Structure 1
Amino acid sequence: METGAGTIRAFWARHRRLGTALIVAFCFLTGLGTDVLLRGPGQSDWWHLTVDAVVAVSLIWRRSWPWGVLAVTVAGDALTDGMLVAAFAVAMYSLAANRTLNEATAGTLGSLAVLGAETVHRSGRDGLGTFIFFYGVTVVASVLIGATVATRRRYVQALLDRAARLAREKEQEGLLAAARERARIAHDLHDIVAHNLTVMVRLADGATAVADADPQRSRKAVERAAELGREAMKDMRRLLGVLHDGSPDVPGDLETLIETFRIAGLPVTLRGRGPEPASPGLQRVVFRIVQEALTNALRYAEHPTEVLAELDYSSDPIRIAIVDDGRGTAPAPSVGSEQGLIALRERAALYGGTVEAGPQPVGWAVRVSIPHQTEDLDELDE
């Protein structure tokens, strides 16, 4: 709700020219009235009226050139024997309101020195006490009011700048959050599509290769490929559901994942120590890491005799190691893009973990360390 003072300030802010005209007229009439009061009616001369008019008109530029206006006002006041006190007060106020406090202090001292010297020259030391009283009160009041207005302006401007900065930061945070969400969606799509398609292609190739020699094994591979396709569709629907309503994703089943890779022809051995982490988010990260590492082994390892998946939940940090003894150590030219390793590192980093991946004397190894987390960190991955 706007207060009365706020309404007045808003009115003068909208009608700056009217306010300036009133100030100019007031200062001119005040100077004229002082001249008439001191000299008597009909005793004013054109020189004093001209100086009064020039000083009053100069106040139009009091905001843009306060130093120049103050100089004109001080000179005019000295030339008219101290009749322009009102204009001097406006000039001092304008300097304090539109410049720094140090500048206002310098203007005050300089003006009082000039006008005080002129008073002593005109009236002797007898007029110095009156000068100090009237001009001291005028200067102190004008400078204090002007400094208060300047401080309020700076405070309001600081609030506006802070609000603008917060708005920009909020916008940037929104853009970063959107980028993180896009990256998470891309990683999930990579996990769902690329991994499942890799296994399905391998199952289909295997089923074709043994169709005549071992129809039962071929049928089992085809059935598993169909199941994997349905699971991929469910994962896609679940991902789309997360995008639609924000519901959390659920961890996958490691035993089923390992069995799928075994059916696809990868000799996986799973070893686990300690209880699984209670955090669903951390379980999901472990699942995705194992899935990515085994998919890479299925793609690139040449005739491995053993792929060892070790999950050590009993240590802190949690240690995950996927090691194969295949001869291949480089990505296949047709499919290698390193996006899987990038996604794997980013998933581990989300929980403060690290990833080491590279060739061994025989085969390839992926080793991941993830500190034990509290349940609160689940919110970061959802």
Structure 2
Amino acid sequence: MFGKVRAWSRRHEKLAGAFRVAPLAALCLILAIPYASANPPSSGLYPSVSGYLILSALLLVPLTWRDRPLSAFAVISLISFGQWLADVPTLPANLAVLVALWTVAYTCSFRWALAAGLVAELGVFLALVDWSSVTLGMFFSGSIFVVTVWLTGLYASTRRRYLEGLEERAERAERERDQQARMAAAAERARIARELHDVVAHNVSVMVVQADGAGFAMDSDPEQARLAVRNISKTGRAALAEMRRLVGVLRENESGATDYTPQPGLGQLDDLVRGSAVPASLRVGGVPGELPEGQQLAVYRIVQEALTNALKHGGPGVHATVEIDYGSEVVVRVTDDGRGAAAPLSADGHGLIGMRERVGMYGGAMSAGPRQGGGFEVLARLPMVKAA
């Protein structure tokens, strides 16, 4: 409820200021009538009750200027000074000086608050001059009200600025959190896009090569052609399943369901090598330990892409060897006995770029190129990173 009232007062500052002043104005105007009867002005400037009411109204109206606190305080102070010059007794409406002082201390800088406090202290001194004898105790007693109001306004101002700072920091933190979430989502989409490239490039290359082989063997060796077609079907289904899993992450799922299918890792390397369209062997040295899933996926994709390159560029009868050595670092070496430097260059290939990105993500190094004596070699070194 208080939040709604605060929001409404911010939208209607002038009307809210009038409502805040209304109780004090009504009280001062009501008290002005008996006060005028008990304290008639000696100068005769205000010969009736209406004069006191007009003076009270003049003192109270500037309090509604919420957006101009310095002007309000200055006008009220000048009216009070004119009242003192005219030898008009102090009215209940003169409390407007303290209200205006609090507003200045609350909304303005410390310099203006200090100046307003000194003006109010001067007003206390001038009000006491009308008494027959002014003592230090009387001045101190009158100053207590001024100093209390002044300090209360400064405290409220400090607290307001503190709360505004908290709100600003909270909003900034929320914006940064949203920005980090968007950046993380963009990075995840880029990673998935690279995964899609690896999946599509590997499986489609295998399917193309096997389809070409089936076409050549269709007449001379029907059984071999049927085997190639079955491999094409198997590879296509596997590629489609993995593509669906990756693309599903990119889609907005209204039900909030999450795909918990694990990413391929070191445990699937043997299946990858045995299921490759390129005859390949796997040799593992050392103890793999507990590598994080991201690094395991990087090793898996490097081997997968290297076998794809051997299939595409190695030529007929190519054989590949996959070596994984675990020590102070993970060494991945994939070699083949294909055409090597004689292989045609591919203008649209991004496999080596993707492998270098994966290796660079873990601070490793990679080299790829033809071997002396024939064949091609992909060598990647990744620092051993312990799983968290």
Fold shared per TM-score above 0.5: yes
Cα distance between partner residues in 2 of 1:372 and 1:11 = 53
Distance 1:11 1:19, change over 3 A: farther
The structural deviation recorded for 1:91 is 0.9
**Contact preservation (8 Å) 2:292, 2:386:** no
1:68 matches 2:71: yes
Q: Alignment identity in percent?
A: 31
The structural deviation recorded for 1:196 is 0.5
Cα distance between partner residues in 2 of 1:161 and 1:215 = 75
The structural deviation recorded for 1:286 is 1.9
**Contact preservation (8 Å) 1:304, 1:327:** no
Distance 1:223 1:120, change over 3 A: closer
**Contact preservation (8 Å) 1:191, 1:292:** yes
Give SS of 1:21's match: helix
Distance 1:187 1:141, change over 3 A: same
Partner of 1:53: 57
> What is the TM-score with the length of structure 2 in the denominator?
0.74
Give SS of 1:327's match: helix
Give SS of 1:245's match: coil
Q: How does 1:285-324 map to 2 (within 5 A)?
A: 285-300=298-313, 307-313=320-326, 315-323=327-335
The structural deviation recorded for 1:42 is 11
1:356 matches 2:347: no
Partner of 1:108: 117
**Contact preservation (8 Å) 1:305, 1:326:** no
The structural deviation recorded for 1:92 is 0.8
The structural deviation recorded for 1:326 is 0.9
Residue type of the alignment partner of 1:356: M
The CA deviation string for residues 237-269 of structure 1, in whole angstroms up to 9 with x for no partner, is 5557778532132536323322344x44xx645
Q: How does 1:158-307 map to 2 (within 5 A)?
A: 158-211=165-218, 217-236=224-243, 239=246, 244-251=257-264, 253-261=268-276, 263-264=277-278, 268-279=280-291, 281=293, 282-300=295-313, 307=320
Give SS of 2:385's match: coil
Name whichever of 161-170 and 288-297 sits farther off.
161-170
Partner of 1:379: none
Partner of 1:88: 97
CA RMSD of aligned residues (A): 4.0
Counterpart of 1:332 (choices 346, 362, 366) is 346
Partner of 1:369: 382
Partner of 1:380: none
Give SS of 1:198's match: helix
Cα distance between partner residues in 2 of 1:35 and 1:300 = 109
Name whichever of 19-28 and 35-44 sits farther off.
35-44
**Contact preservation (8 Å) 1:55, 1:87:** yes
> What is the TM-score with the length of structure 1 in the denominator?
0.75
**Contact preservation (8 Å) 2:359, 2:380:** no
Give SS of 2:22's match: helix
The CA deviation string for residues 308-341 of structure 1, in whole angstroms up to 9 with x for no partner, is 433112x1222223355711688513x32x2x44
The structural deviation recorded for 1:162 is 3.8
Distance 1:129 1:45, change over 3 A: farther
Residue type of the alignment partner of 1:174: A
Cα distance between partner residues in 2 of 1:332 and 1:45 = 103
**Contact preservation (8 Å) 1:271, 1:311:** yes
Residue type of the alignment partner of 1:275: V
Residue type of the alignment partner of 1:284: L
Cα distance between partner residues in 1 of 2:292 and 2:224 = 35
